[in-house]
Amino acid sequence: MIVVNGNEYPFKEGVSLLSILKEHNKSLFKEAIVAKEDDKLIDLSTLVSDGVNYTVFTAESPEGLETIRHSAAHIMAQAVKTLLPEAKVTIGPVIENGFFYDFDVENPFTPEQIQKIEKEMKKHVQANYEFHRTVMSRDEAVKHFEALGEIYKVEIIKELPEDQNITFYKQGDFIDLCRGPHIPFSGRLKAFKLLNAAGAYWRGDEKNRMLQRIYGTAFSTKEELDQYLNFLEEAKKRDHRKLGKELDLFSFQKEGVGFVFWHPKGMTLRNQLIQFWRDLHEESGYVEINTPIILNKELWIKSGHYANYKENMYFTQIDEMEHAVKPMNCPGCMLFYNTSLHSYREFPIRVAELGLVHRHERSGTLHGLMRVRQFTQDDAHIFMLPSQITTEIKGVVNLIETIFKKLGFSDVNVEISTRPAKFIGNIEDWDTAEAALKQALDELNYNYEINEGDGAFYGPKIDFSIKDSLNRRWQCSTIQLDFALPERFDCTYIGEDGKKHRPIMIHRAIYGSIERLIGILIEEYAGKFPLWLAPVQMKIIPVSSEKHLEYSQEVYKRLKNSKFRVELDDRGEKLGYKIREAQLSKVPYMLIIGDQEVENQTVAVRHREHGDLGSMSLFDFFEKLSSEL
């Protein structure tokens, strides 16, 4: 007997799992995608073994969906080879929410070609080809793909052990190197869509040939696919790169790839976030420092960055000595701490720094504000006694909560990462630190998950991720306990016993990266920033640039003197055109001034979301703004 999803079926020698389902469970047979034998995923074409328990997954399961997407990549490669026989295939893995496949072709894929490839895929789906698994020796596989001219497959195969048998999957006349498993028939790919194409280097190495990558997605039902495509459309509208240009916030230039050029309105937004951060940190007992961007190589050797992070750093020569542009702020803060002697009575010492850091990211990984080569990190380092760990952790968590709430994020996920296999320090300190992190979150009634063994080598940490309006998670804030740097930099304090002791140190960042946070906020608000953050809070629009200009200028001056961020549109354009432009620039308020407003010394207030709010005096409008702020 065999057991499938809890049901017993008679065992037959040389019979596949799919055949068993076809004979004994036709409804599951029609929906089955992949199976599991013990802990191993297998094809449904696998021959059954007596006395084994099998779990069969349908398209709705994570296992089934991943298999569908994997098979979709193969069907896409088959379609490309049908339309472009000269194309060379490389690899096609599953990724989050979809799949891709890289091809070596003469010219980049056009949108029209992508549509043709998708249409060809539908033909292969309708043909309902069986996915047939076969095995070759390494030498057989090399000869097979050399005969086909598939140089990339040959390269991959030659890297495998000589005595290894290699699995392949064939559907129709297309065969591909693959471990599997796959869907039983191509017809079980029900809902898919090709999304776009982009360049990608072979094996991600800029020294290799540029390939063309086609991205696609697949779901178990058309309804799920449509829902995801609608999500992509909404995400496209909110893309911070697009809105950043439209709202004149920032730009990127070819003269500095990966480096942000902040425009005046972007600087206003950035400065609002910085001022908010500074006010809260001052209230919370932090002192602010600023350390140099460039420091000599010996410092980075001492901190461990030179050995572990050198490939991501920029270097320069000064006075015939090698220096590094800092990728992190921590070593500079250690030097600051050691500029004076410290007593236990001073603790905790909370030191904050908005430090400009540089990291060499590969050009292919750069993505607007989300991944850049220069960014401002809102670092802070807290030096404390062992008895103060829990209290200080709670203080940082409360600060993070305050900032997230102000920014409009209420769904926060919290994880504690514990001691990894490779660590420094002693286990007793690690146990104390991990217990302190858990105690702090327990006392604050936080729900959290434990990531066993995922802490940094120098200490355990708490990570905070936020969910945006498109249900995407972003990891921003982190709190890390560090045993390494105080030791490496010989940081000490004089304890109650008059002897030198080593302080405990917290690394923490809340924004993480100001650049990345602004990118997240642009997409979260779709450019419609709340009043306190909006680069321009209101626009004054006179109906007539002649008749109503004098009073409009008076209103402008009064608002400006009251420290509001205001613009006056005194162009000789039609009123409807100016209102429409203000709406496109996503300004929170428009103040329309015509004959009635001049006569009554009022303003006609229009809100970007709620439309016409009627006329009101400047005093009443100020009261409304103050209440909202």
Q: Annotated catalytic sites, by residue?
A: 330, 359, 377, 379, 381, 461, 507
SS3 (DSSP) at 367: strand
Q: Comparing C-alpha atoms, which of 227, 226, 225, 266 is closest to residue 245? A: 266
Between β-strands 40-42 and 32-37, what pairing exists: parallel, antiparallel or unpaired? antiparallel
Q: Comparing C-alpha atoms, which of 475, 474, 423 is closest to residue 453? A: 423
Q: Is the dihedral of CA 41, 43, 46, 49 positive or negative?
A: positive
Whether the upstream peptide bond of residue 111 has omega within 30° of 0, thus cis, is: no
SS3 (DSSP) at 479: strand
Q: CA–CA separation, 462 vs 437, rounded Å?
A: 8
- Rounded to 10 deg, the angle between the 264-283 and 514-525 helix axes is 110
Query: How crowded is residue 25: how many other Cβ atoms within 10 Å of its Cβ?
Result: 17
> Does an H or E element contain 288, and which?
strand 287-288
What is the full DSSP assignment across 59-83?
TTSHHHHHHHHHHHHHHHHHHHHHH
Q: CA–CA separation, 388 vs 440, rounded Å?
A: 11
Burial tier of 71 (Cβ tally within 10 Å: 0-12, 13-18, 19+): buried
Write the CB contacts of 372 (distance below 8 Å, at least 6 apart in sequence). Answer: 258, 259, 260, 361, 366, 513, 515, 516
Query: Rounded to whole angstroms, what are the CA distances from 176 to 209, 263, 449?
Result: 21, 50, 40
What is the distance between the terminal CA atoms of the chain, rounded to a whole angstrom? 71
CA angle 77, 80, 84 (to 5 degrees): 140
Query: How crowded is residue 330: how many other Cβ atoms within 10 Å of its Cβ?
Result: 23
Strands of 40-42's sheet in order across: 7-9, 2-4, 53-58, 32-37, 40-42
Q: CA–CA separation, 65 vs 183, rounded Å?
A: 10
Between β-strands 566-568 and 538-542, what pairing exists: parallel, antiparallel or unpaired? parallel
